[in-house]
């Protein structure tokens, strides 16, 4: 079954907008676990606009589900991951000024660098997932880098879902089939929501994990966090 990892970045955005510790990011993560999330994802950025490095350290002490840390492996991120040793690190090539992740790695051009990063994290027992666009060549390149999994960047699928979902999913099916052929695990994330999630999993049922934050937290404003986590779990386990 596909696991749900809840990205709690947006909870930290609300906290940071006023200072103090309301809402409490650690408590929110523990509540997500209690409500049925099978993992917690964070994406600490250098400017600490949402999740801070200190949050990552605090979360590691208390989480009981899989902890996934996303980010661009700049030196400070690299050191943090090696210190905390999460279950999984997801390598994302986002620029420091990016509003959100907006592209996957070119795993061919960056092969030597990604091989080095991947090997060092795996030596600490950390599973490595590489964030890629839905392009079979980039998936195969991730395998050459030594990755355990790829995470498919699903923004294009979400953007085109309402106009033609069959066309929107096709590149992802091809990329997912390449991952399976290569023996890679498969994650997916970015703009997945209650409208488009089930169809994605119906067409690619071997997805190991989806990471969902923005849409889930937006839904929680209206539906409540507990109900929302359960609704997303239901979409994955129909």
- How far is 108 from 121, CA to CA, in rounded Å? 20
Phi/psi at 94 (5° precision):
-80, 140
Q: Annotated binding residue at 45?
A: yes
Q: Return the closest-CA partner of residue 204 out of 185, 228, 230.
A: 185
Q: Annotated binding residue at 20?
A: no
Q: Annotated binding residue at 50?
A: yes
Give the DSSP H or E segment for 189. Answer: strand 185-189
- How far is 141 from 164, CA to CA, in rounded Å? 29
Tokens of 167: 């066309």
Q: Annotated binding residue at 237?
A: no
Q: Annotated binding residue at 213?
A: yes
Active site residues per annotation: 43, 70, 190
Q: Annotated binding residue at 228?
A: no
- How far is 178 from 139, CA to CA, in rounded Å? 7
Indicate the annotated binding residues for 1-deoxy-D-xylulose 5-phosphate: 45, 50, 100
Indicate the annotated binding residues: 7, 18, 45, 50, 100, 191, 213-214
Indicate the annotated binding residues for 3-amino-2-oxopropyl phosphate: 7, 18, 191, 213-214
């Amino acid at each position: 079954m596909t696991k749900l990892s809840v990205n709690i970045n947006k909870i930290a955005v609300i906290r940071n907008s006023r200072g103090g510790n309301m809402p409490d990011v650690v408590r929110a993560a523990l509540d997500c676990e209690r409500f049925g999330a099978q993992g917690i994802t964070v994406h600490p950025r250098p400017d600490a606009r949402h999740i801070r490095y200190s949050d990552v350290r605090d979360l590691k002490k208390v989480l009981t589900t899989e902890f996934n840390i996303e980010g661009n492996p700049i030196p400070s991120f690299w050191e943090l991951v090696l210190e905390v040793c999460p279950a999984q690190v997801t390598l994302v090539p986002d620029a420091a000024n990016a509003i959100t992740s907006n592209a996957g790695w070119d795993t061919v051009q960056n092969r030597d660098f990604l091989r080095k990063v991947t090997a060092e994290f795996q030596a600490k027992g950390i599973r490595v997932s590489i964030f890629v666009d839905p392009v079979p060549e980039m998936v195969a390149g991730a395998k050459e880098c030594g990755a355990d999994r790829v995470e498919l960047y699903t923004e294009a699928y979400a953007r085109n879902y309402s106009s033609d979902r069959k066309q929107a999913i096709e590149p992802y099916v091809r990329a997912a089939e390449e991952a399976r052929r290569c023996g890679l695990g498969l994650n997916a994330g970015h703009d997945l929501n209650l409208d488009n999630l089930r169809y994605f999993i119906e067409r690619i049922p071997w997805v190991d994990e989806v990471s969902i934050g923005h849409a889930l937290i937006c839904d929680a404003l209206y539906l409540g966090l507990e109900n929302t986590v359960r609704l997303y779990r239901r979409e994955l386990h129909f």
